[in-house]
Amino acid sequence: MRNTKILPENGCLEDIKRRNLERMRNTAEKELNPNHYQLSSEAKKRLRWLYALYYEQAGNVTQCARKIGISRPWLSRMKAVFEKNGKDPRSLEPESKAPCKFSTEMQSLFLMIPSALDSWYHASMRLHTHSGIPMIFYTYD
């Protein structure tokens, strides 16, 4: 009798592959996202790439990119972003594709509004306290 390998059924083989993939996902999340941040599916995929890079390929970007089937410059860019942000997994979130409706100057003005309103409120309180002028607040429902 010849020495032949008995291969598992096709469904069983797929089940084994699925379990290995799930195990890698869980391990990647535990190692690289210890604070359990909520991540999009795209960020989770990038986290798995970085897990493969750090733990399976010992930091070799070329070999890892070849293994997972993405370009080396793309994986290198993901690694640089991840490390630049202190290995924060939230940095792997894709940038929004929605167009920005306001210029950066307008955005900075919007950020100043709460502090301007706060200083106005304190100034009006001082005026009321020292002069006795009644304060009237209007609310709109």
pLDDT digits (tens, 9 = 90+) for 34-83: 888 888 889 989 998 998 898 888 889 999 999 889 999 999 999 999 99
The number of folded domains in the chain is: 2
pLDDT at residue number 2: 58
The more confidently predicted of residues 26 and 78 is 78
Largest CA distance in the chain: 108
Do 87 and 110 sit in the same domain of this protein? no
Kindly indicate the confidence band of residue 6, based on its pLDDT and cuts at 50, 70 and 90.
low
Final residue of a domain: which of 55, 72, 92?
92
Cα(137)–Cα(141) distance, integer angstroms: 13
Q: Transcribe 88-127 into DSSP letters.
A: -GGGGSPPP-SPP-S-HHHHHHHHHHHHHHHHHHHHHHHH
pLDDT at residue number 136: 62
Do 65 and 124 sit in the same domain of this protein? no
| Percent of the chain topping pLDDT 70 | 66
pLDDT at residue number 63: 93
Do 66 and 107 sit in the same domain of this protein? no
Beta-carbon-side half-sphere exposure of residue 127 (alpha carbons within 13 Å) = 10
Kindly indicate the confidence band of residue 133, based on its pLDDT and cuts at 50, 70 and 90.
low
| Residue 17 belongs to some domain of the structure | yes
pLDDT at residue number 8: 57
Do 105 and 138 sit in the same domain of this protein? yes
| Residue 1 belongs to some domain of the structure | no
Global confidence as pTM: 0.54
Do 105 and 87 sit in the same domain of this protein? no
| Residue 3 belongs to some domain of the structure | no
Task: Share the mean pLDDT of the chain.
Answer: 78
Do 85 and 140 sit in the same domain of this protein? no
Q: Which domain holds residue 132?
A: 101-141
pLDDT at residue number 125: 67
